[in-house]
């Protein structure tokens, strides 16, 4: 499984300057668009709690206090995950890391739709927060690798 996240080997070296420039511009555009789209999808998965708050409270499934604890679990695990996953993202294949994190976050969001037990909600939102943190760290690493400080 660790081989899956191993960074890609260096590409074949091209000597034609025009091909290098064209490929470089294409890759930068692709990185920018995929990072923007990928992080946007991560953001949607993270904010799904705002969509369910009112119906969950109205139906009496959870209390406001319980929703606060769930939100705390999400953001605490998100914060710790950003720290840890930032170091990880510097050393692995960020394309695969980002895709895997988004996939697991989406699965966790689906699982939450079948739950109404508070303790399970807290665990699932904590897991979701951890995998949500992969989105920002991989996006930053990708942009740092392809754009200068002035361009960012």
Q: What kind of fold does domain 14-146 have according to CATH?
A: Growth Hormone; Chain: A; (1.20.1250)
Return the structure tokens found at 95.
Answer: 């394309």
**Model confidence pLDDT, tens digit, residues 42-93:** 887 777 778 878 888 898 888 999 999 998 999 999 999 999 998 999 888 8
With contact defined as beta carbons under 8 Å apart, do 133 and 81 qualify? Answer: yes
Instruction: List the domain boundaries for the chain.
Output: 14-146
| Spatial distance between the Cα atoms of 83 and 14, rounded to a whole number of angstroms | 36
Minimum mean pLDDT range among 36-40, 63-67, 124-128? 36-40
pLDDT of residue 130: 94
The DSSP-derived string for 35-49 is HHHHHHHHHHHHTHH
């Amino acid at each position: 499984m660790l081989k899956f996240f191993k960074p890609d080997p260096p590409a074949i070296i091209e000597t034609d300057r025009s091909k290098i420039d064209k490929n470089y511009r294409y890759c930068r555009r692709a990185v920018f668009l995929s990072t923007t789209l990928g992080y946007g999808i991560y953001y949607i998965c993270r904010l799904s709690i705002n969509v369910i708050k009112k119906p969950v409270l109205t139906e009496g499934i959870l209390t406001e206090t319980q929703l606060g604890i769930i939100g705390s679990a999400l953001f605490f695990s998100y914060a710790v995950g950003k720290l840890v996953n930032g170091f990880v993202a510097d050393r692995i294949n960020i394309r695969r890391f980002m895709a895997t994190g988004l996939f697991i976050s989406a699965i966790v969001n689906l699982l939450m739709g079948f739950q109404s037990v508070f303790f399970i909600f807290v665990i699932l939102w904590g897991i979701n927060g951890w995998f949500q943190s992969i989105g920002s760290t991989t996006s930053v690493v990708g942009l740092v690798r392809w754009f200068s400080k002035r361009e960012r």
